Amino acid sequence: MNYSIQNDHLKIAVQETGAELCQIQSTVTGKDFLWNADPSVWASYAPVLFPVIGAIKNGFVKYNGSEYAVPRHGMVRNNANVKLTSQTTDSLTFALEYNEETLAIYPFKFKFQITYRLEGKKVVVDHKVLNHGGSEMLFSLGGHPAFKCPLHEDEVYEDYYLEFEAIENDSTWILEKNGLVSNTTKPVLEHTNVLHLNNHLFDNDALIFKHLISKRVSLRSTKSGQVITVSYKDFPYLGIWAKPGGHFVCIEPWLGIADSADSDQNFATKEGILKLEAGGTFEASFTIEINE
């Protein structure tokens, strides 16, 4: 089941399964801005990542003397237990709550809630995590939206670039073949705010940035005037990725990161892990702005 809302600028649709945003469309021009989830390339639009980001070493984490097989990117993605809980003229809210199945792979009593709101030319993505347990809860969360690229038939992938709001000097952390983060880095942004896209940029998987100054990045074309801007003030990590040969680019705000290759698998000391007190609530948001 898909649910949709629209205003004078945008129409969005969200799949109930996984609470996955599956359409951002201009109500003025009819142009689509999200990747079409072609299953022959990459069969997703914008997965929701919770309570982990990326790969887990050996497929499990250790917590309080037990092992828990938390899936790659967590348990919201493709989950049919996610349900629409509220719909207004300008918002859609979905939730996933703990049950016996989740407790077997993730030992916390949680409620995860995600709301998509339209504000003019912006899609606001609000996350809320509630700890219903009697002890501290550990988690990460993030977004994985894939934007269509190129946007026009007379353009090619190489016409596009990412423009950061500040001049950056940052390297990517190289991923190993199993998806774990190595201790090796490679310079990517060297005193520049521009990253040009090309079909080989992601040959070695995602670019992972830990030390960006910018909290906003725009997908721009050297030929057309349309701009997609992602703002992520609440998120310290940023991933940039595309399937090689795919006509899209993912701009991924993260509150956590995949396990490192030398991780001891201790969930409590995992890099980027967040801690929420018993009975507590955590909130974080990012926005997607479309300018035509």
Where do the domains of the chain lie, and which CATH numbers do they carry? 2-291 (2.70.98.10)
Amino acid at 196: H
Segment 155-174 mean pLDDT: 96
pLDDT at 164 over 90: yes
Give strand pairing partners of 209. 238
Contact in structure between 160 and 147 (CB atoms under 8 Å):
no
Distance (Å) of CA 206 to CA 54, 93, 175, 257: 11, 29, 7, 12
Distance (Å) of CA 157 to CA 33, 52, 154, 190, 245: 14, 30, 10, 22, 9
- Identify the CA nearest to 148 among candidates 248, 267, 1, 287: 248
Give strand pairing partners of 12. 5, 24
- Identify the CA nearest to 284 among candidates 257, 251, 256: 256
Segment 222-241 mean pLDDT: 95
Note the pLDDT of residue 244.
87
Note the pLDDT of residue 173.
95
Q: Can you tell me the distance from the alpha carbon of 90 to that of 98, in angstroms, rounded to the nearest whole number?
A: 27
Note the pLDDT of residue 226.
82
Q: Can you tell me the distance from the alpha carbon of 135 to that of 279, in angstroms, rounded to the nearest whole number?
A: 8
With a pLDDT cut of 90, the percent of the chain lying above it is 97
User: Mean pLDDT in the chain?
Assistant: 96
- Identify the CA nearest to 284 among candidates 50, 12, 46, 5: 50
Segment 94-111 mean pLDDT: 97
Q: Can you tell me the distance from the alpha carbon of 217 to that of 288, in angstroms, rounded to the nearest whole number?
A: 10
pTM listed for this prediction: 0.96
- The strand order across the sheet containing 10-15 reads 2-6, 10-15, 20-26
Contact in structure between 114 and 19 (CB atoms under 8 Å):
yes
Note the pLDDT of residue 169.
96
Residue 267 dihedral angles phi and psi, to the nearest 5°: -60, -35
Helix or strand or coil: residue 85? strand
Q: How confident is the model at residue 83 (pLDDT cuts 50, 70, 90)?
A: very high
Note the pLDDT of residue 184.
94
Residue 15 dihedral angles phi and psi, to the nearest 5°: -75, 135
Note the pLDDT of residue 225.
82
Contact in structure between 252 and 162 (CB atoms under 8 Å):
no
Question: How many degrees, rounded to 5, is the angle at CA 229 between CA 228 and CA 231?
Answer: 155
| Residue 123 structure tokens | 């899609």
Question: How many degrees, rounded to 5, is the angle at CA 108 between CA 50 and CA 65?
Answer: 110
Q: Can you tell me the distance from the alpha carbon of 22 to that of 7, in angstroms, rounded to the nearest whole number?
A: 17
3-state secondary structure 250-285: EEEEECCCCCECCCCCEHHHCCCCEEECCCCEEEEE
Q: What sign results for the dihedral spanned by CA atoms 126, 44, 235, 198?
A: negative
Segment 186-192 mean pLDDT: 96
Q: Which residue has the higher pLDDT, 292 or 76?
A: 76
pLDDT tens profile 118-145: 999 999 999 999 999 999 999 999 999 9
Residue 123 dihedral angles phi and psi, to the nearest 5°: -105, 115
